[in-house]
Amino acid sequence: MDIRTIDHLEMFTEDAEECAARLCTGFGFAVHGRGDLEDRVSLLLRQHDITLLVTEPLTAGHRAHDYLARHGEGIAVVGLAVDDAAAAFTEAVERGATPLEPPHTLDPEGSRVTFAAVNGFGDVEHRFASRRRPDGPFAPGLIAERPQPAAGLLRDVDHLAVCLPPGELDGTIRRYQQVFDLEHTFEERIIVGKQAMRSKVVQSRSGGVTFTIIEPDVTRDPGQIDAFIAAHEGAGVQHVAFRTEDIVAGVRTCAAGGVPFLSTPGEYYAALPGRLGAVGVPVERLRELSILADRDYGGVMLQIFTASTHPRRTLFWELIERRGARTFGSNNIKALYEAVEREQAAAQA
């Protein structure tokens, strides 16, 4: 199975207009289309190679209704671009995936698109998508589109971070290898104070799809992954990382649009030159914007995380700029989780 890229992400929300407005104002997305169906309304958002479908259920019969009741707003569908969605669906089911949506093709005016879905993790599904015209309509006949010029500072989906209940990590990694042909590329155990977590990364052979999958380490005290699982009521997408080629401009633009970012203590930046050397952006600029930096065998990575505005304090976002780096900022995890703890403490005060 050759999974090429993330075709789209679908968010389930209780208010599609409000959610879309938040993403457009804060992150620079533009509304490219709308689908008004009997059981749902969906808004299609795009920015370069990122496609988000924001869906609000209109009846209790749509899957989003039960998803929202259990988890709240979140990423409920990960669309995977393949050459043949029907063949990928058949192959995945033969390898043990649970079928959720059999292949169906939309083909008005020759813009053929085929979708098919199987189970992913928790209540998140994986939807295979194949397109005769990669630059064609998203879902012809279902979404009425009004394409906008390409704009914005976010380029593509770098990775998705997924939280699992304890004991599920190894089996999930094996399933991604066996069912979806993803490769296990990286793993680590991260200790932050009295808590700890295990993390493993799987990636498509193309490099276009990456999942960082995390479970809490039950040999340590409960921590933020445990809190996510409890608040989310099970496995789910903790954050989506959007790649940018200019994180300084990206942070400034998003902050001006009302996006709240996590802060980082000054001591982090005092130690940065000795730890990493020059990273291409002045340390004072990084300090001013609370941008984190790390270095691996490939180069430098700059990243920042938003504060969660989710009522359950679950889903949040990341901006990331890669200057050759291939990993995920292991040395920044401690700073991230300390910042989240400060944010949660402030919210409870």
Structure tokens at 152: 């914005």
**Contact assessment for residue 195 and residue 222, using Cβ atoms and an 8 Å cutoff:** yes
Question: Both 79 and 165 in a single domain?
Answer: no
Q: Which of 99-108, 150-159, 176-185, 330-339 has the lowest mean pLDDT?
A: 330-339
* Residue span of the structural domain in which 336 resides: 154-348
**Of 82, 117, 145, which closes a domain?**
145
Question: Both 140 and 173 in a single domain?
Answer: no
Banded model confidence at residue 336, pLDDT cuts 50, 70, 90: low
**Contact assessment for residue 258 and residue 307, using Cβ atoms and an 8 Å cutoff:** no
**Contact assessment for residue 114 and residue 88, using Cβ atoms and an 8 Å cutoff:** no
Question: Both 89 and 185 in a single domain?
Answer: no
Residue 71 has pLDDT above 80, yes or no: yes
With a CB cutoff of 8 Å and minimum separation 6, the contacts of 222 are 195, 216
Structure tokens at 138: 């998203």
In this prediction, residue 148 carries a pLDDT of 87
Instruction: Look up residue 340 and give its amino acid.
Output: V
Question: With the C-alpha atoms ordered 266, 272, 225, 324, is the resulting torsion angle positive or negative?
Answer: positive
Of 43, 37, 28, 87, residue with least CA distance to 62: 37
Q: Determine the 3-state secondary structure of 232 from DSSP.
A: helix
Residue 334 has pLDDT above 70, yes or no: no
Percent of the chain with pLDDT over 70: 95
Residue 153 has pLDDT above 90, yes or no: yes
Bridge-based pairing of strands 74-81 and 124-131 is parallel
Residue 263 has pLDDT above 80, yes or no: yes
Question: Both 191 and 312 in a single domain?
Answer: yes
Structure confidence by residue, pLDDT tens digits, 102-145: 999 998 777 899 999 999 999 999 999 999 988 899 999 999 99
In this prediction, residue 108 carries a pLDDT of 75
- Model pTM greater than 0.75? yes
Question: Both 320 and 344 in a single domain?
Answer: yes
Task: Tell me the mean pLDDT in the region 174-193.
Answer: 93
Question: Both 158 and 272 in a single domain?
Answer: yes
Question: Both 167 and 22 in a single domain?
Answer: no
**Contact assessment for residue 340 and residue 239, using Cβ atoms and an 8 Å cutoff:** no
**Of 93, 113, 145, which closes a domain?**
145
Question: Both 111 and 172 in a single domain?
Answer: no
Phi, psi dihedrals of residue 75, rounded to the nearest 5°: -80, 115
Task: Tell me the mean pLDDT in the region 84-90.
Answer: 98
Euclidean distance between the first and the last CA atom of the chain, given in angstroms as a whole number: 50
How large is the C-alpha radius of gyration of the chain? Answer: 20
**Of 112, 145, 178, which closes a domain?**
145
Structure confidence by residue, pLDDT tens digits, 28-64: 999 999 999 999 999 999 999 999 999 999 999 999 9
Bridge-based pairing of strands 236-244 and 316-323 is parallel
In this prediction, residue 344 carries a pLDDT of 66
Which one-letter DSSP state was computed for residue 48?
T
Question: Both 140 and 10 in a single domain?
Answer: yes
67: domain CATH number is 3.10.180.10
Task: Tell me the mean pLDDT in the region 93-100.
Answer: 98
Alpha helices (H) in 72-215, listed in sequence order: 85-94, 169-180
Question: Both 169 and 136 in a single domain?
Answer: no
Banded model confidence at residue 335, pLDDT cuts 50, 70, 90: low
Phi, psi dihedrals of residue 219, rounded to the nearest 5°: -80, -10
In this prediction, residue 86 carries a pLDDT of 98
Which one-letter DSSP state was computed for residue 178?
H
Domain count, the chain: 2
Structure tokens at 301: 């990575």
Question: Both 166 and 284 in a single domain?
Answer: yes
Phi, psi dihedrals of residue 109, rounded to the nearest 5°: 55, 30
Structure tokens at 84: 């043949």
In this prediction, residue 337 carries a pLDDT of 62
Phi, psi dihedrals of residue 277, rounded to the nearest 5°: 75, -160
| Per-residue b or e along 307-341, where b marks 16 or more CB atoms closer than 10 Å to that residue's CB | bbeeebbbbbbbbbbbbebebbbebbbebbbbbbb
Of 167, 238, 173, 171, residue with least CA distance to 201: 173
Question: Both 165 and 65 in a single domain?
Answer: no
Bridge-based pairing of strands 74-81 and 195-203 is unpaired
Give the residue, 224 or 65, on which the prediction is more confident: 65
